[in-house]
Amino acid sequence: MPENIEFTPLATSDPLDDEQPITTSTSTTTRNPTPHSPKNNSLAAQIERLGDMAISGLGPVLIALAFLLLSVTIFCFYSVFLPFHHPWNEGDGISGNLGYIFHWIWATYLVWGILANYYLAVRTPAGSVLDGVSSSGDAMFQDVLGEMESYTAIPPTCKRCHLPKPERAHHCSVCQKCVLRYDHHCPWIHNCVGHFNHRYFLMFLTYLPIACVYFVIMGAGPFMLAADASIDSIWPYWLDRSLVAFSEVLAVAIGVAVGGMGIWHWYLTLTAQTTLEQYNNAYMKKICKKRGETFTNMYDFGIIGNFQDVFNIGPRGHYPWYTALLPIRIPPIGNGKRYERSGRGYVLDFGEDDEDMV
């Protein structure tokens, strides 16, 4: 993006009755490329469309693969890893098998957290502009604008789906629609990560690395036993030792990859940013620094406030704090078309360069 783009600090709190509406764009017309424009028929655009089709078609396959790998590792834990460390002794009763019971409860809680949040991330729509709108034509636009409750003089319009675009919404070329508080499209859940399923995606990225660390620690002994291919070694389990070794290696790989992604998304969550917004904010911070100004994220309410917003808990939410630890369906705050703002922020008008990123 060019660095000579003009922007001004705008008050982002709701205006009083006697104040003028906040203007977030200086553009008076919406430039929508025609379906036959060179931009849409370029080689890069065609490659992008093929990539989007491949990602969309690959989604169900990746979901099936994820459930298969999760099932293998879960079955391996309960049939090999847990009995290896804490075999159940029939004659000792509950008091003599407390270790087994504790690890069984803890492992079951982790499994519940992984599977429930993954299922909810897959099955919960991320949120679109037309959610809750049943009319069509001009009435549909009025309904959308009414839900946005926008204080903009000229509401922004998506150049691809030609609908009013709420704040923090962006167009997903894979789903072919604007997604509320769009973060990114994840092929592993065959869905976008947005306003209504962000909590579940984040918790899946939290439960899975924790479970991988626990799995690797519990599986170290069985893995060494399975790796011992000497004639004298005895394998006391009916599950093949190669599958046990594969599960241990898989847990290490997934724990590192998903753990790193989880740390990144927790940083974004606690700073009130999406993946897309983080890149835009980093650009604006650089411009502000050159001008001797301080950039402020208009949606940032501090670490505690941002945590409460995402999980809909505490004074800012509607649910008790302990629900953040439960992998259950809890709706987010608001309808995703308008967000509370913390103070002052910057709004950029890129004109023709204002393209949605995927």
CA 294 from centroid of its chain's CA atoms: 28
Cβ distance 91 to 100 under 8 Å? Answer: no
Find the catalytic residue in 186, 192, 212, 288. Answer: 186
DSSP secondary structure letters along 24-85: -----S-----TTSHHHHSHHHHHHHHHHHHHHHHHHHHHHHHHHHHHHHHHHIIIIIHHHH
Q: Let me know if 186 is a catalytic residue.
A: yes
Q: What is the DSSP letter of 124?
A: S
Distance, CA of 60 to CA of 190 (rounded, Å): 6
Cβ distance 258 to 118 under 8 Å? Answer: no
Half-sphere exposure of 53 (CA within 13 A, CB side): 6
Distance, CA of 358 to CA of 355 (rounded, Å): 10
Burial class for 93, CB neighbours closer than 10 Å (0-12, 13-18, 19+):
exposed
Cβ distance 133 to 142 under 8 Å? Answer: no
Angle 39-42-47 from CA coordinates, rounded to 5°:
120
Residues recognised as catalytic:
186
